[in-house]
């Protein structure tokens, strides 16, 4: 029973780590805001703004489809920026992760006294390749109106 509990706890930690986000402060954080208030900029906004942090996020270990991966990266950039009180993110780009699915086969055997034994195992990894994104969390005092 204790082994099962340890296995479940380890699985939970691995799933949490699969959705990793991190930041490196380069300015002063502000009180947190809602992620819906954070705008994504593909070029620095006109006028003055304050840099708050450099952000690194991933799409998550179980996100399938390129568009879904891109959406997850943008959503996580906004969420991480909002925690720092940034109302904007200057998008820095994305990169593909390592891995993807795979199949492994193993076999073994042995002999103890007059008894022989053998076994075969097959492992299948169906987790997709992650997408990683980065950007700069910023605070814009007077954000420009959204473009239609």
Summarised one tens digit per residue, pLDDT across range 104-114 is 666 677 777 78
Q: How confident is the model at residue 42 (pLDDT cuts 50, 70, 90)?
A: very high
CB 49 within 8 A of CB 144: no
Domain assignment present for residue 36? The answer is yes
Query: How many domains does one find in the chain?
Result: 1
> 50 is written with which tokens?
């304050």
**Which of 32, 49, 29 minimizes the C-alpha distance to 41?**
49
CA count, 13 A, side-chain hemisphere, 100: 2
Q: What's residue 12's pLDDT? A: 42
Considering the chain, what percentage of its residues have pLDDT values greater than 90?
Answer: 46
Q: What is the pTM of this model?
A: 0.68
Q: Which domain holds residue 75?
A: 19-139
Domain assignment present for residue 56? The answer is yes
CB 86 within 8 A of CB 41: no
CB 59 within 8 A of CB 107: no
**Minimum mean pLDDT among 51-55, 62-66, 70-74, 136-140: which range?**
62-66
């Amino acid at each position: 029973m204790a082994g099962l509990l340890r296995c479940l706890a380890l699985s939970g930690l691995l799933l949490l780590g699969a959705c990793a986000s991190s930041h490196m402060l380069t300015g002063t954080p502000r009180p947190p805001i809602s992620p819906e208030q954070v705008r994504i900029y593909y070029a620095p906004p006109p006028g003055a703004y304050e840099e708050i942090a450099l952000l690194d996020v991933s799409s998550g270990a179980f996100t399938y489809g390129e568009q879904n991966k891109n959406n997850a990266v943008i959503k996580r950039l906004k969420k991480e920026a909002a925690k720092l009180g940034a109302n904007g993110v200057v998008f820095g780009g994305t990169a593909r992760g390592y891995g993807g699915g795979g199949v492994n086969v193993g076999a073994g055997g042995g002999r103890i006294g007059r008894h022989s034994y053998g076994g075969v195992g097959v492992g299948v990894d169906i987790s997709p390749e992650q997408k990683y994104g980065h950007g700069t969390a910023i605070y814009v005092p007077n954000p420009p109106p959204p473009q239609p």
